[in-house]
């Protein structure tokens, strides 16, 4: 089938297997430049198929020579429908991992469910015995509660009062003011149900009970803070309430892990283009300014560079830890000079000048690349096989 990008709202509903492979290969090539020595040899990544989770799996495998189990929630392709990008990423990742002699198996299903947790534990017991590191990198718009069966949906809204600011439609480059009404209590609660810490605690409880965490095991969950410009919609909004809950639960989990001499951490990562972040109002404009300013200062990092730095700094003991015990790899994003420049440009940006003063073109290209489109060296006019198997799907 000849595969072209096709959209429903902001979501690209097609993905290109060759482009997804190129994305994975480029990340692997970056990581293979220098190996990182580390004690984590068996890694479980929950949310391993795109964004930060995929990069964590790649750095674990090709940077640390670790064995990985990835839990993902992706759709396979058929003869006349493409798979999701995360499916093709996983196909490409596993092929490379296996070719190069690494253990890598993938579980595809709802990580929030009891069944997928049980399946993961069985696989760990059968194949790896124990896990040294758990990476929790889920971003989801909904969650079915594993006990009550209740469905919750996450909202991307401010809390308390409405929020008006500039936003960009990154397909038309039109800048306009958006006003978003505040969430009600139910929307806040539902967002916490989806993206808060309850599921993380359920995972750790089950892994501890099954005795599949090695002595000294670590659990790292990813979070985001961002600058004042995005506070109303992010950190002080519904998603920020969920992240606060995740961070609170991570401290609780840290206490529980003491029984095996382990620790739980939150890593605050930088904002970048992923399927999740491009859906948040205001954020694409901010990220396209952030990219421009970081590049000018030679400070820009993509997801694999962020995770490579996180793992290297953990290994060397140089990771920045803030007063709340969170690991900070958003230090370059949060530098006063970077944020000062963004604030200055933010006031000036209009539909007329957006392509000059921001990296909106790159944002848009990076968005397409998430789905495997827009890579050089790929013939997008040629027939591609859409129905490709993940080799080690359990
Ligand atoms: P993403 O959308 O690229 O990846 C989400 C992953 O979660 C995918 O592998 C997907 O398959 C998996 N997933 C979703 N629902 C699932 C389910 N029910 N069961 C199993 N797997 C499921 O997201 P991302 O932007 O990489 O975000 C990952 C984490 O990093 C989130 O906690 C996010 O808040 C955090 N983070 C993101 C940014 C950013 O700018 N993108 C910045 C800092 C921190």
* Burial of 393: CB neighbours in 10 Å, binned 0-12, 13-18, 19+: middle
Atom of ligand 1 nearest to the CA of 283: 40
Using CA positions, which residue lies closest to atom 30 of ligand 1? 222
Evaluate whether 96 touches 393 at the Cβ level (below 8 Å). no
Phi then psi dihedrals of residue 15, to 5 deg: -150, 150
pLDDT tens for 97-137 read 999 999 999 999 999 999 999 999 999 999 999 999 999 99
Using CA positions, which residue lies closest to atom 12 of ligand 1? 47
Look up residue 17 and give its two tokens: 């297997």
Give the three-class secondary structure for 157: coil
pLDDT for the residue 291? 96
**Is the per-residue pLDDT at 48 higher than 90?**
yes
Q: How far is the CA of 268 from the centre of ligand 1 (A)?
A: 13
Evaluate whether 109 touches 115 at the Cβ level (below 8 Å). yes
Q: How confident is the model at residue 52 (pLDDT cuts 50, 70, 90)?
A: very high
CB of 72 shorter than 6 A to ligand 1: yes
Percent of the chain with pLDDT over 70: 100
Active site residues: 234
Which of the listed residues 15, 27, 50, 52 should we mutate to test ligand 1's pocket, taking the one with most ligand atoms within 8 A of CB?
A: 52
CA torsion sign for 50, 52, 57, 59 is positive
Tell me how far apart the alpha carbons of residues 229 and 241 are, in angstroms, rounded to a whole number. Answer: 17
Percent of the chain with pLDDT over 90: 92
Q: How confident is the model at residue 368 (pLDDT cuts 50, 70, 90)?
A: very high
Contacts of 180-183 with CB under 8 Å at 24 or more apart are 180/233, 180/281, 181/157, 182/157, 182/158, 183/155, 183/157, 183/158, 183/159, 183/237, 183/238
Q: Does the model's pTM come out above 0.85?
A: yes
Domains of the chain with CATH codes: 7-158+186-281+297-334 (3.40.50.720)
Atom of ligand 1 nearest to the CA of 221: 32
Using CA positions, which residue lies closest to atom 29 of ligand 1? 137
Tell me how far apart the alpha carbons of residues 65 and 59 are, in angstroms, rounded to a whole number. Answer: 9
CB of 51 shorter than 6 A to ligand 1: yes
pLDDT tens for 280-314 read 888 999 999 999 999 999 999 999 999 999 999 99
pLDDT tens for 8-39 read 877 899 999 999 999 999 999 999 988 888 87
**Is the per-residue pLDDT at 193 higher than 90?**
yes
Residues in CB range of 50: below 8 A, 6 or more apart: 85, 86, 89, 274, 275, 370
User: Region 130-154: what's the mean pLDDT?
Assistant: 97
Closest CA to 104 of 76, 130, 123, 83: 123
On average, the pLDDT of the chain sits at: 96
pLDDT tens for 225-268 read 999 999 999 999 999 999 999 999 999 999 999 999 999 999 99
pLDDT for the residue 7? 85
CB of 269 shorter than 6 A to ligand 1: yes
Look up residue 191 and give its two tokens: 């967002």
Atom of ligand 1 nearest to the CA of 275: 2
Atom of ligand 1 nearest to the CA of 49: 9
Q: How far is the CA of 41 from the centre of ligand 1 (A)?
A: 23
Give the three-class secondary structure for 208: helix
């Amino acid at each position: 089938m000849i595969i072209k990008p096709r959209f429903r709202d902001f979501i690209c509903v097609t993905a290109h297997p060759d482009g997804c492979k190129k994305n994975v290969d480029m990340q692997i090539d970056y990581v293979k430049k220098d190996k990182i020595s580390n004690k984590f040899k068996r890694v479980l990544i929950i949310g391993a198929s795109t964004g930060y989770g995929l990069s964590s799996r790649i750095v674990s495998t090709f940077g640390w020579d670790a064995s990985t189990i990835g839990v993902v929630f992706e759709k396979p392709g058929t003869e006349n429908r493409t798979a999701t990008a995360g499916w093709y990423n996983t196909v490409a990742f596993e092929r490379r991992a296996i070719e190069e002699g690494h253990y890598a198996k993938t579980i595809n299903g709802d990580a929030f469910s009891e069944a997928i947790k049980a399946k993961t534990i069985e696989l760990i017991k059968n194949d790896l015995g124990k896990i040294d590191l758990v990476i929790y990198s889920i971003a989801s718009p909904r969650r079915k509660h594993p006990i009550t069966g209740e469905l919750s949906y996450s909202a991307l809204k401010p809390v308390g009062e409405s929020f008006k600011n500039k936003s960009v439609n990154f397909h038309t480059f039109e800048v306009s003011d958006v006003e978003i009404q505040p969430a009600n209590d139910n929307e806040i609660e539902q967002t916490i149900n989806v993206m808060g810490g309850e599921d993380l605690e359920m995972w750790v409880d089950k892994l501890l009970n099954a005795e599949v965490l090695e002595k000294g095991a670590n659990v790292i969950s990813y979070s985001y803070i961002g600058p004042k410009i995005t506070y109303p919609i992010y950190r002080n909004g519904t998603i920020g309430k969920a992240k606060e809950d995740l961070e609170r639960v991570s401290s609780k989990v840290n206490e529980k892990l003491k029984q095996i001499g382990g620790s739980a951490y939150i890593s605050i990562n930088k904002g970048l283009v992923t399927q999740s972040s491009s859906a948040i109002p205001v954020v694409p404009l901010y990220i396209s300014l952030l990219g421009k300013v970081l590049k000018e200062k030679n400070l820009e990092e993509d997801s694999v560079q962020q995770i490579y730095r996180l793992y290297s700094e953990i290994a060397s003991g140089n990771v920045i830890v803030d007063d709340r015990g969170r690991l900070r790899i958003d230090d370059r994003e949060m530098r006063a000079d970077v944020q000062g420049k963004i604030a200055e440009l933010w006031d000036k940006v209009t539909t007329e000048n957006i392509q000059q003063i921001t990296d909106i073109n790159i944002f848009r290209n990076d968005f397409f690349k998430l789905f495997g489109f827009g890579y050089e060296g790929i013939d997008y006019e040629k027939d591609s096989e859409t129905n490709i198997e993940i080799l080690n799907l359990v």
